């Protein structure tokens, strides 16, 4: 009975974008880190994107600023290996829980445990991304 009640609640959610499109956008975002393709990653975002990474830091606004932010974070000899733990889609939004192994040539590697909150626009582009992680998230 409780499961059916929960399913009924979910049917009331309205969305401008199909859940499958939201899920595909999040998965493409994570894949772009693995492939190192910042341009493909940027193409997933709306022109007026706002990124908070981590939440509480100064927002990064617009695609040009986003690409510059990633260029600083990635560096010339970095690799990223995301592992999706859980993805939840609700309407035009999603939360992805994932581990991101970050490796730099000559500097070793670390794993970041991240929770990303995505908001999508009516065209299926990411318009806002908030990354939740703190000092305890880095192993």
- The three-point CA angle 71-75-77 to 5° equals 145
Give SS3 for 28.
helix
Does the annotation mark 116 as catalytic? no
The CB density around residue 20, as the number of other CB atoms within 10 Å, is 9
The encoded tokens of residue 94 equal 């999603």
The encoded tokens of residue 52 equal 């908070």
Q: Is the peptide bond between 54 and the residue preceding it cis, with omega within 30 degrees of 0?
A: yes
The residue from 37, 47, 53, 134 that is catalytic is 53
Whole-number Å distance between alpha carbons of 70 and 60? 10
The residue from 29, 47, 92, 121 that is catalytic is 29
Residue 14: phi and psi, rounded to 5, are -100, 150
Catalytic residues: 29, 53
């Amino acid at each position: 009975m409780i499961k059916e009640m929960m399913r009924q609640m979910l049917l009331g959610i309205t969305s401008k974008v199909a859940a499958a499109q939201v899920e595909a956008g999040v998965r493409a975002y994570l894949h772009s880190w693995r492939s190192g393709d910042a341009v493909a990653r940027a193409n997933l975002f709306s022109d007026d994107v706002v990124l908070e990474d981590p939440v509480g830091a100064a927002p990064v606004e617009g695609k040009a600023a986003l690409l510059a932010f990633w260029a600083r974070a990635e560096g010339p000899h970095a690799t990223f290996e995301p592992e999706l733990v859980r993805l939840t889609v609700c309407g035009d939004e999603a939360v992805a829980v994932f581990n991101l192994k970050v490796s730099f040539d000559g500097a070793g590697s670390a794993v970041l445990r991240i929770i990303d909150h995505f908001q999508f626009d009516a065209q299926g582009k990411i318009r806002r991304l908030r990354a939740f992680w703190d000092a305890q998230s880095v192993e």
